[in-house]
Amino acid sequence: MLRQGLRTQPLVSPDRSEVCRVDELGEWVRRTYGLGDGLVALAPVGRGAEGRVWRLDVGPDSFAVKQPFAVVDEEDLRREVGYLDHFARAGLEVPVHLGDAAGRYAVPVPAALGGGQLRVSRWVDGRPVAAPATDLAGPLGTLLGRLHAAAPTIGSTPSRWYLTTPSPSVWRDLVERSRDHPWVAALAGRLADLEHYAELVAAAGPPAPHLVVGHRDLNPDNVLLGADGSLRVIDWEEAGPTDRGRELATVLVQWHVEGPVVDEDAVHQTVAAYRAAGGTGRLDGLDAFVMVLCTEPNFLARQVQAALDPATTGEHREHALAEIQELLGHLPTPSALDRVLAAAARA
């Protein structure tokens, strides 16, 4: 079972009135980042919660151009580049970020071309994964196992996004405020599970010491299938300190669980391949699910709040509504977590 994610949605092509500006933007990116000579073509390929993604072709070369909605901190980008350099030296295929002539990775865009910032990396070849994906369970485990085997240790701790989840009172308030909205029934129907998960997270406490650098967002939207059958991971913006076992549990839920339904064979295959590739994370109990029971509910709450906010614009509102619908259907039930643990233990 593979989650059909909306974290990165396909974009419609720009209308005729925008074509000239898109062409000018592509040429500006080529010059600013020193991407060589040749025919320039810039086209939108996706839109996620954090920004838009474009593909830029310059002659025979291709690049990913990201346009974040919020300001990106240059130091955060440099830290990400350092992580990627480490994994590349370990033999893993990862995106290569490019800087401008001044060495900046996030570059301000002229107001005439839309403003904001852009960041550029070399294009990673591969096609999006699609459901059903039981045949990808093994390659997924191999990918995560290799990442965890190569991951450097890190002294910092995860942010609250990965360690805390909305309290029962927050969820009850969101249900009340959602009373006249189309998602209220689905949200109210998951209220008991969300309250239960808040209690589970509070009882679990912080992760064990000896954290490593993890991707932390290894959902299907951020993975491509290469021509050789291997998986390549993209979108490393969330990379940072993680517990190997908690990231393994998160990946199993995001790829092999849909509400109450668990693909137990896929869980088994992923964990077996993970171990064979050198992964050492363990699922010793429900505490292993703390990360996914923080990130998924946190993201859900953020999207509900955005949809309720009168200041949210049409495009962002539509995206939030789609995310709410997907997340409420995808959120695992308590019994599903028990079955994931049992299937993983058999690997």
Q: Rounded distance, CA 299 to CA 328, Å?
A: 11
Q: Which CATH superfamily is domain 8-124 in?
A: Phosphorylase Kinase; domain 1 (3.30.200.20)
Q: Give the list of residues 6+ apart from residue 175 with CB closer than 8 angstroms, or none.
A: 184, 187, 188, 191
Q: What is the pLDDT of residue 57?
A: 98
Residue type, 140: L
Q: Give the list of residues 6+ apart from residue 89 with CB closer than 8 angstroms, or none.
A: none
Give this prediction's pTM: 0.92
The mean pLDDT of the chain is: 92
Q: Can you point out the beta strands (E) in 139-297?
A: 212-214, 223-225, 231-233, 240-242, 257-258, 261-262
Q: 242-272, pLDDT tens digit by residue?
A: 999 999 999 999 999 999 999 999 999 999 9
Q: What is the pLDDT of residue 34?
A: 97
Q: 24-75, pLDDT tens digit by residue?
A: 999 999 999 999 999 999 999 988 778 899 999 999 999 999 999 999 999 9
User: Which fold does the domain 134-345 belong to in CATH?
Assistant: Aminoglycoside 3'-phosphotransferase; Chain: A, domain 2 (3.90.1200)
**What number is the average pLDDT over the span 77-101?**
96
Q: Confidence class of residue 214 from pLDDT cuts 50, 70 and 90?
A: very high
Side-chain half-sphere of 300: how many Cα atoms within 13 Å?
Answer: 28
Query: Domain residues of the chain, as ranges?
Result: 8-124, 134-345
List beta partners, residue 108: 117
